Amino acid sequence: MSEQGQKSLGGLLVAAGLSSRMGEFKPLLTLGSAPLLAHALKKLRDAGVEKLVVVTGHRAEALQPILEEFGAEAVHNAAYAATQMFDSVKLGLAALQGVDRVLLSPADCPAIAPETYRAVLASPAAIARPVYEGKPGHPVMLAGRLIPRLLADEGPMGLRGALERCGEAIDDVPVADPGILMDADTPEELEALRRYWEKRA
């Protein structure tokens, strides 16, 4: 059992995309001495996640050594080139049915502070997300009981629309952590992320 109120905790990272805006495969780009995916997986393990799921797609085989290092389960989205991110999220959530809570994030968000995970997990709400200077970021915490509802959702606006339609209020948790907003969709964002990482180090 996790330390978070003795509730089982799952972690879901989405790493299925083509990284088209970056031009290089984002999960394997390095931050310090390790790939972005490794940093994200370590953060989830340190937060108390017991069951780790990574949704793969493009270059799935290249991620396997990192997944094995952290004991993460790969769920492959074979249609990654023709589907949206929420389709990958659904595949990952299906593999996490039965857990009490899920921490969800893209695989290229490695700079989230440990205290942010603790703050989100401390929320009693069914959906919680961190907010920095009025802007929501990652990770999103979901109650496991919402998974069937999200899997059945076929409406517009992806995960955001599904969360708005699921009948639960979203708890916006204020944090002093700009890392919740930092990802690596473009080379410029990657450089900003690296500068932030070096400054923190």
CATH of the domain at 79: 3.90.550.10
Domain extent at residue 148: 9-200
Q: Is 161 helix (H, G, I), strand (E, B) or coil?
A: helix
The pTM of the whole model exceeds 0.85:
yes
Integer Cα distance of 65 and 25 in angstroms: 15
The strand pair at 170-174 and 127-132 is best described as: parallel
pLDDT of 47 > 60? The answer is yes
In a domain, 4, yes or no: no
Mean pLDDT of 41-63: 97
119 vs 200 pLDDT, higher one: 119
Q: Which residues pair with 101 in a beta bridge?
A: 9, 143
Query: What is the tally of structural domains in the chain?
Result: 1
In a domain, 128, yes or no: yes
Mean pLDDT of 41-68: 97
In a domain, 101, yes or no: yes
In a domain, 186, yes or no: yes
pLDDT for 2 equals 40
